[in-house]
Chain A
Amino acid sequence: MSSFLSRAFTGRRRSGPPGRLPPGQYDVGDGFPVLSAGPTPRTRPENWAFTVTGEVDEVRRWTWAEFRELPREAVTVDIHCVTSWSKFDTRWAGVAVDTLLDGVETAAEYVVAESDGGYTTNLPLEDVTDGRAWIVDTYDDEPLAPEHGGPARLLVPHLYFWKSAKWVRALRLTLADEPGFWETFGYHNYGDPWREQRYAGD
């Protein structure tokens, strides 16, 4: 790390209430940064469907209309991005992954979230079940905007936000772990912000 210091430069980051901010994070306040690795997909609801596939007894598929009929939950959570910003009390609404996996028979221990535009991320199946994950289509009482992952994104707030795949279209259950877009590029395979697992080897 450079020993150079810029006179009187402190940056704009704010620290948060003790215990609320994982190590190395700052509170982004009212902002909600848009970080993208590619062009923003703009899938229209009439062309959208969500699939549970892979190591399952039977593929499950919902059109947008069918998805919107499923039991829904409102969720308020803190989110933590690996680029160091955190945002407190973000408000979402959508369908619990538990609901989408209800009745699914599988030997899979892992899942890959697959998105429009080709983005993928991998998680242990137990990290998206038991109330730990949702497919959300609403943010702050408004339809989720495309730049934030709309029509729908995965929400897994206990892990770094790159695991909350934007523009999600499928959860593919797998027997073996399949590292995704950032996991194959040196980011941590699991990504627990409280253990500061940003990079592989952390």
Chain B
Amino acid sequence: MSSPDETVDRRLDGNAAAGPLAELFTVDLSVAMMTCGGCLNRAALGAHHLYPDGPALVVRCPACTAVVLRFAADRSGMRLEMTGTRLLTVAAPPTTAG
């Protein structure tokens, strides 16, 4: 990646957290709707802001930047902290009935 412009933060989209989170969840969380505990903004994880550079993944609300989720998978095991998420919903898959 080219060196960052000084006014642009190095961050990714929540979609990039789906792989690591797949170590813990059986459901693809990138389409899970998350309600921010701070400002109640509701958006898919994929639309959230992911900061992947620190010792762990930090996911922030796209509206107010509050931390909604932290996840780490390393030699000590896995850790998930979601005190910043008020609610997480995953839609049921469509039924196959015609």
Asked if A and B are interacting partners, one says yes
Whether A37 and B76, one on each chain, are in contact in the complex, defined by CB atoms closer than 8 angstroms, is: no
**A185 partner residues in chain B, CB cutoff 8 A:** 56, 70, 72, 79, 81
Provided the pairs A40-B9, A186-B79, A199-B76 are in contact, do residues A34 and B53 lie with their beta carbons within 8 angstroms?
A: yes
**Are B76 and A201 in touch, CB under 8 angstroms?**
yes
Say which size band chain B's interface belongs to: 20 to 34
Contact B79 A38 (CB under 8 A): no
Give 26 A-B contacts (CB < 8 Å), ordered by A residue: A34-B53, A35-B53, A35-B54, A35-B55, A36-B10, A36-B11, A36-B54, A37-B53, A37-B67, A38-B51, A38-B58, A38-B60, A38-B65, A38-B67, A39-B11, A39-B65, A82-B55, A146-B6, A147-B6, A162-B54, A182-B54, A185-B72, A186-B72, A186-B79, A187-B55, A198-B76
B14 to chain A, nearest CB (A): 14
| Interface presence of A83 (CB below 8 A) | yes
Tell me the total A-B contact number using a CB cutoff of 8 A: 58
* Chain B hits for A147, CB < 8 A: 4, 6
List residues of chain B with CB under 8 Å of any chain A CB: 4, 6, 9-11, 49, 51, 53-56, 58, 60, 65, 67, 70, 72, 74-76, 79, 81
The chain B residue sitting closest to A81, CB to CB, is B55
Cβ contacts A143-169/B at 8 Å (1 or 0 each) = 001110000000000000010000000
Closest A-chain residue to B53, C-beta based?
A: A35
Interface size on A, residues (CB 8 A): 25
Across the interface, name the chain B residue whose C-beta is closest to A39.
B9
Given known contacts A146-B6, A185-B72, A37 and B51 CB-to-CB distance under 8 angstroms: yes
Apart from A82-B55, A146-B6, 13 more pairs, CB < 8 Å: A33-B53, A34-B10, A34-B53, A35-B53, A36-B10, A37-B53, A38-B58, A39-B49, A184-B81, A185-B56, A186-B79, A187-B55, A200-B76
